[in-house]
Amino acid sequence: MIRGSCHCGAVRFEYPGRPEWLNRCNCSYCRRSGALWAYAETQQITLDFEPGATIRYIWGDKTLAFHSCRTCSCTTHWENLDPSPAARMAVNCALAEPTEIAGLRIRHFDGAETWTWLD
């Protein structure tokens, strides 16, 4: 399990197990946030924060919403706006302790232009 939180601790997450890889995307949002995304089905990830603790940011094709802590501004996760039961989401594992993600492969995704893996 990987646990992470924003800088102030108001928003916390638990990711089950260890992912095959973490994703570093270069889209206009991800490259600015410096996120290392780990993906899973929404019901597999545990989020812990009080109502109103995050700011939701929806842009582009409006298929997902990025969540950042209202207090310290760290981007913690994104939620899929697709209501299907198999919807996926991602948590920002850059917010986990380095020992929790040590040894995980980091893949690079071109979310800016080609929508292909760069590795």
Confidence class for position 60, pLDDT limits 50, 70, 90: confident
Q: Evaluate whether 73 touches 11 at the Cβ level (below 8 Å).
A: no
Confidence class for position 84, pLDDT limits 50, 70, 90: confident
Neighbours of 94 (CB within 10 A): 18
Q: Tell me: pLDDT of 86 over 90.
A: no
Residue 32, H or E segment: helix 30-33
Domain architecture of the chain: domains with CATH: 2-117 (2.170.150.70)
How far is residue 7's CA from residue 76's CA, in Å, rounded to a whole number? 10
pTM score of the predicted model: 0.94
Alpha-carbon torsion angle 39, 43, 49, 51, nearest 10: 120
